Amino acid sequence: QSALTQPASVSGSPGQSITISCTGTSSDVGGYNYVSWYQQHPGKAPKLMIYEVSNRPSGVSNRFSGSKSGNTASLTISGLQAEDEADYYCNSYTSSSPLYVFGTGTKVTVL
Amino acid sequence: QVQLQESGPGLVKPSQTLSLTCTVSGDSVSSGSYYWSWIRQPAGKGLEWIGRIYTSGSTNYNPSLKSRVTISVDTSKNQFSLKLSSVTAADTAVYYCARGAAWLQSGPFDYWGQGTLVTVSS
């Protein structure tokens, strides 16, 4: 199973909204509502931001939202802030093997 | 507060076995509510799921590593471990342990260790 496809980089100015895409197949992203998103600052462990497409864990800002259409999931960050500058990875649980496949990662830059 | 902490050698020789342990605090590996996973990340690259274990001892592995991986759990020490055999330079990476919610089909990883760098070199 190949890695999910994400854009290498996305940038935006403070206060703007940006969207990161995550494209898979009908065997993973398109087949189930099991996409999660992780934020990773340099030298740090990933942090869960969204699970099962659009659910936010407790403590995650409501500026982060998720959606899905067909084989592509999306993470939107609204009201972009300097602290949002990080790498973002999508992940899909699949019913086949491997159970989890990650995206290629997207570097978000706040201009 | 749940915490996970990886430990183990930072340098492993080629063809040898990489062994790491994840010590869990603030939760119990035998609670039955979570899966316990290992995930790795080569420098400058993306994340790769290695495998997971449930408190019952049931495991799932990434098929790309399955022939070389063993994940086990020690409930008496509240730890779970990773063994990766016949390592090569391609196994050099930061290794993370993580907790996954078992009550959700997708088992998202809600807590992670800080990660430990393992270098494979002679």
Q: What tens digit of pLDDT does each residue of A66-96 get?
A: 999 999 999 999 999 999 999 999 999 887 7
* C-beta atoms surrounding A39 within 10 Å: 22
CA distances (Å), B6 to each of A45, A76, A91, B84, B113, in order? Answer: 12, 32, 22, 15, 6
Tens digit of each residue's pLDDT (9 = 90 or more) over B38-77: 999 999 999 999 999 998 889 999 999 999 999 999 999 9
Contacts of B101 in chain A (CB under 8 A): 51
- Tell if the CB–CB gap between B106 and A48 is shorter than 8 Å: no
- Residue A99, pLDDT above cutoff 90: no
Per-residue pLDDT, B65: 95
Map tokens 């939202």 to a residue. A65
Nearest residue to A24 via CA among A89, A86, A77: A89
Which residue in the set B62, B106, B114 is minimally distant from A98, CB to CB?
Answer: B62
CA distances (Å), B101 to each of A3, B37, B52, B85, B105, in order? Answer: 22, 11, 12, 28, 8
Residue of A nearest to B110 (CA): A48
Residues 6+ apart with CB under 8 A from B48: A102, B39, B40, B41, B62, B93
Looking at this protein, which amino acid is placed at residue B78?
A: N
- Tell if the CB–CB gap between B49 and A98 is shorter than 8 Å: yes
